[in-house]
Amino acid sequence: MRVLIADEVDAECGSKLRAAGFEVDEKFDVSYDSLKRIIGLYDVLIVRSRTKVTREIIELGKNLKVIGRVGVGLDTIDVKAAEEAGIKVLNTPQMSTVAVSELVMGMMLSLARRIHIANDSMKRGLWEKKKLHGIELNGKTLGVVGFGRIGRAVAERSKAFGMNILVYDVIVDEGALARLSAERVGRVEDLLSRSDVVTVHVPLLPETYHMFGDSAFSSMKQGAFFINASRGEVVDTAALLRALKSGRIAGAALDVFEHEPPETPDEKELVSLPNVLVTPHIGAQTREAQSLGAALIAENIINAFKTL
């Protein structure tokens, strides 16, 4: 069985698959056009979020039996086209829970204490101690939109910082709610109007596309913070920009963007605002998460071939 690893995946994945008898090619920077030319040679395609597995790729992948996604989101794979072609799609949803939740904690602390602004200012030779007043997280309310693996992990960590937790989700884990003494709200607007920090952890679905637009931002508490480490398309960039420029919200931290890298004038302006903390989709970029994801996808693929 021939495997193509088309995005940068920890070496452990290739080693485990080779040890199990698979022939593995690692082409981490393969372009979309090259992928079109070579995909027909492979039985297995392994990707992260860079490579878009479109219907076109799937149709050209005449020998494809399994697509492995190292990560959670399947929005970069045409799952319907894969199903129609009888191709199994596997992912490793548990790999990034700790990594993303720790990044979000870093973002929240930075927004509250303005660490990113202080850092920029000192590097420009300034000493703006008097300007750099922040707030404490202790006693503040965190609104978690999407109370799945990552949302729950952020809530647990925030509880340790003395925060009150509000939750909005379409399905809720009652055990986790009780454990964190978290309160569930029935309407996202109720969470937005009461939270000092809002953090988003929903998947990208037709129902969550632009879930955060003008109406959501105008429901937020004046001067609150907004964090998005889910998917860029969950947020209407232009609306977020308006909310920040009008002072409706005090700051935002973003790990994900509608275009990656940001390319529209609105996205570029958003990135340039001093009260916006940005990272280039590094949520899952820890040694531990990548090693776990690589091992898990290899094991899932080996197991899948036992039953194919």
Q: Which of 254, 252, 145 is nearest to 201 (CA)?
A: 145
Restricted to residues 20-79, the positions that interact with ligand NAD (CB under 6 A) are 71-73
CB of 231 to ligand NAD, least distance (A): 4
Residue type, 108: M
Q: Which of residues 42 and 91 has its CB atom nearest to ligand NAD in the complex? A: 91
CB 282 within 8 A of CB 290: no
Q: What is the signed CA dihedral for 273, 98, 286, 138, rounded to 10 degrees?
A: 40
Give me the catalytic one of 152, 231, 233, 248: 231
Is residue 260 part of the annotated active site? The answer reads yes
Neighbours of 22 (CB within 10 A): 18
User: x/- string (CB under 6 A) for ligand NAD, residues 199-238?
Assistant: --xxxxx-xx--------------------xxx-------
How far is Cα 268 from Cα 266, in angstroms, rounded to an integer?
5
State yes or no: is 259 an active-site residue: no
Among residue numbers 248 through 307, which ones bind ligand NAD (CB under 6 A)?
Answer: 255-256, 281, 283-284
For ligand NAD, which residue has the nearest CB? Answer: 148
Q: Decide if residue 160 touches ligand NAD (CB under 6 A).
A: no
Q: Give every CB contact of residue 92 below 8 A, 6+ residues apart in sequence.
A: 69, 70, 71, 72, 292, 293, 296, 297, 300
Q: Which of 21, 133, 170, 175 binds ligand NAD (CB under 6 A)?
A: 170
What Å distances lie between residue 86 and 58, 89, 108, CA to CA? 10, 10, 43
- Is residue 231 annotated as part of the catalytic site, yes or no? yes
Determine if 158 is a binding residue for ligand NAD (CB under 6 A). no
Question: Which residues form the catalytic set?
Answer: 231, 260, 281
Residues that bind ligand NAD (CB under 6 A): 71-73, 93, 96-97, 100, 146-151, 168-171, 201-205, 207-208, 229-231, 255-256, 281, 283-284
